[in-house]
Structure 1
Amino acid sequence: MAAGVVRDIMTKQIVMIDHDKSALEAAGIMAEKGISSVFVVRNGDPVGIVSERDFIKKICAKELPIAQVKIGDIMSKILTTADPEMPIEVAVQRMVNHKIRRLPIMEDGKLVGIITVTDLARHLRTTLLLEGALSDFSNIDDVFTTMDQDDKH
């Protein structure tokens, strides 16, 4: 992967929901905005993240009533974060080490963005295209179109 820092590829539009809101409210926000995760906050501070996977494993698989489940009860706690000036390679290693698909980006104690595996794949694609390593544009574009539909931020 080419040199660069997290700020170069992070998604700056982040969506947050208070920890005491219902999972139904969070699902509605995610559907409305076409995103696959939301940050959970308590008193304005990020304390967790909820993804579509959390809904499936922690609500649907257990047949819980989504309107009665608090989002704070199904969130995944934030295990690690990155700084916007962190090298991309270091952020990737952090995600691998913690086995996470989404990495919150913090600056001066404030949540300023997120990096997802989709962001990293796009960055890799751009790097490979610039280096001339990819020649079959149509096939790779199909892959990223599918990723965009399946894993929007």
Structure 2
Amino acid sequence: MTQTVAECMTPSPTTIEATRSVRDVAELMASGDVGAVVVVENSEVTGIVTDRDLVVRVLATGGSPEDVVRQVVSGTLVTVKPDDSAEQAAQVMRDNAVRRVPVMQAGELVGIVALGDLAIERDPRSALADISAEEPNT
């Protein structure tokens, strides 16, 4: 039985305006216990910023916590639809070397799906599924 993205995704992902600061997105990640935030500009999804982006594109380059989020957004935005199969989502991630993808329906953000989400659904006994299903370290 083919699973759909809707069955694996996290609904209502955390978002932030592209004009907000890196500090704001870091605080949002910390308070929401998330490693990725969807970036929006004028109500349109424009990208994703991850905790790794903050390290590689801000801290490692001498950036400032006051830099704007739009400066550190991950490359080209790729998305999937809720009715896409889990296999299609995995292929999009593979083809674009990304671990998280916004889920869009009729131009609206409805969720986010991560590689770990797919692992939990597809092979719950895999190492990635085990790690992804664990409670976060505090």
Alignment identity in percent? 28
1:95 corresponds in structure 2 to 93
C-alpha distance in 2 between matches for 1:141 and 1:97: 21
Q: Describe the superposition over 1:6-36 as per-residue Cα deviations: whole angstroms up to 9, x where unpaired.
A: 1111110311111110000110011001000
The answer on whether the counterparts of 2:119 and 2:128 sit within 8 Å (CA) in structure 1 is: no
Higher share of residues assigned helix: 1
2:115 corresponds in structure 1 to 117
Secondary structure at 1:69's aligned position in 2?
coil
The answer on whether the counterparts of 2:57 and 2:72 sit within 8 Å (CA) in structure 1 is: yes
* TM-score, normalised with respect to structure 1: 0.81
Secondary structure at 1:75's aligned position in 2?
coil
Secondary structure at 2:110's aligned position in 1?
strand
The answer on whether the counterparts of 2:16 and 2:37 sit within 8 Å (CA) in structure 1 is: yes
- Shift in Å at residue 77 of structure 1? 4.0
- Structure 1 residue ranges (4+ consecutive) displaced by more than 6 angstroms after TM superposition: none
Structure 1 gap ranges (5+):
129-133
- Shift in Å at residue 98 of structure 1? 0.7
Q: Describe the superposition over 1:113-142 as per-residue Cα deviations: whole angstroms up to 9, x where unpaired.
A: 01101101211234x6xxxxx8xxxx8986
The answer on whether the counterparts of 1:47 and 1:77 sit within 8 Å (CA) in structure 2 is: no
Residue identity opposite 1:74 in structure 2: V
1:18 corresponds in structure 2 to 17
C-alpha distance in 2 between matches for 1:97 and 1:32: 32
2:73 corresponds in structure 1 to 75
Residue identity opposite 2:62 in structure 1: E
C-alpha distance in 2 between matches for 1:41 and 1:52: 17
Structure 1 pair 78/105, CA: closer, same or farther in 2 (3 Å)?
Answer: farther
Structure 1 pair 84/142, CA: closer, same or farther in 2 (3 Å)?
Answer: closer
The answer on whether the counterparts of 1:23 and 1:69 sit within 8 Å (CA) in structure 2 is: yes
Structure 1 pair 56/140, CA: closer, same or farther in 2 (3 Å)?
Answer: closer
The answer on whether the counterparts of 1:48 and 1:78 sit within 8 Å (CA) in structure 2 is: yes
Structure 2 gap ranges (5+):
none
Q: Describe the superposition over 1:39-86 as per-residue Cα deviations: whole angstroms up to 9, x where unpaired.
A: 1111111101100010010111112221x2000111114532111111
The answer on whether the counterparts of 1:10 and 1:113 sit within 8 Å (CA) in structure 2 is: yes
Larger radius of gyration: 1
2:31 corresponds in structure 1 to 32
Residue identity opposite 2:50 in structure 1: S
* TM-score, normalised with respect to structure 2: 0.89
- Quick check: 46-55 or 69-78, which moved more? 69-78
